[in-house]
Amino acid sequence: MKRLPFIAGNWKMNKTVEESLDLVRGLKVSLQGIEDVEVAIAPPFTALYAVSQELKGSSIHLAGQNLFWEEKGAFTGEISPVMLKEIHCRYAIIGHSERRQYFGETDETVNRRIKAALKQGLKVIFCVGETLEEREKGINFLVAERQIEGGLKDIGETAMQSLVVAYEPVWAIGTGKTATPRQAEEAHQFIRQKIRFLYSPKIAENLRIQYGGSVTPENIKSLMAEEDIDGALVGGTSLNAESFSRIVRFKEM
Ligand code: PGA
C-alpha cells in the first residue's frame, strides 16, 4: 500500500493573528476538495487558537512548531503538549534544525519532547538533517543516524505509528538550494533502512518521510516522484495560499 502524501506548512515566526486568519481563509478555498493528500499547517503559537477556530470542519490539520516535555509548571515561555491538544493540534514539529541551531536543542531534548507529545496523543513531525559542513565532510549519513537513534530512544513500535520523519538538509532551508531528488531519495532510503533495522519492515514501510528545504511548486513534482519521498515540510512557500496550494496539488501538475 502506497503511503498517503503529507504536505505540511511551517510558518515559523511569521504572521500575526490577522494575517494568519487571512492565509487560512485563502487555504480553505484553494484546498477545497483535496482528499488524497494530507495537509497540516503550523502557525506561530499566538495564532494557533484563532486558526483552530477558523479550521473547524476543515480537513486541514493544525500543528505546533515546538513544545516542552512537562505538562505544566514553572517553565516560563514554554508550551505543553496538553495545551496544544486542547486547541485541536494534531501534530507537533519537533527537532527542527532552527531549534537545534539557535535554541540549544539536542538529540536528548528532542527525544524528551517527542515522548511527551506522543504520550498526550499528538502526532509528531520529527526533523533530522545535516549541515553543509557535515555534508562536505561526508558524514551526512552518520549525522542522520545519530539524530534518529538519539531522537527515537525508547520509543516503541506502537508510538512509531504516530510519527512522521522530515529530512531537512540545513543547507537547503531558506536558501533556494533544494537537494536534488536523487540526494533527497538517498537520504530517505537511508532513514527508512535505519527504521527497518531499529523497528521492523512493517514500521519502516508505513513510515512517512517528508523532504524539507526550499520546496516550491516548481520542484515538488520531481521530489514526489521518488519512491521514498512521501511529502514535504514547506517553510517560505507555505506563507502564501496560492503557492502552498500548488504544492499540495502537485498531482494535478
Ligand atoms: P524552507 O524551510 O521551505 O523555507 O526552505 C523549510 C523548513 O525549514 O521547514
Residue 88 among the catalytic residues: no
CA distance 172 to 250: 20
Query: For 86-140, what is each residue's pLDDT tens digit?
Result: 999 999 999 999 999 999 999 999 999 999 999 999 999 999 999 999 999 999 9
Which residues contact ligand 1 via a Cβ below 6 A? 10, 168, 173-174, 212-215, 233-237
Per the structure block, which three cell numbers stand in for 20?
Answer: 494568519
CA of 100 to the centre of ligand 1 (A): 14
Active-site residue, from 96, 130, 134, 188: 96
**1: pLDDT strictly greater than 70:** no
3.20.20.70, 2.40.10.10, 3.40.640.10, 3.30.1490.190: CATH of 6-252: 3.20.20.70
Which protein residue has the closest C-alpha to ligand 1 atom 9?
235
Query: For 199-227, what is each residue's pLDDT tens digit?
Result: 999 999 999 999 999 999 999 999 999 99
CA distance 118 to 94: 11
Closest CA to 95 of 71, 74, 73, 115: 115
Do the beta carbons of residue 82 and residue 119 sit within 8 Å? Answer: no
Do the beta carbons of residue 69 and residue 115 sit within 8 Å? Answer: yes
* Beta carbons within 8 Å of 17's beta carbon, 6+ residues apart: 46, 47, 50
Active-site residue, from 130, 168, 185, 188: 168
pTM metric for this prediction: 0.97
Query: For 51-79, what is each residue's pLDDT tens digit?
Result: 999 999 999 999 999 999 999 999 999 99
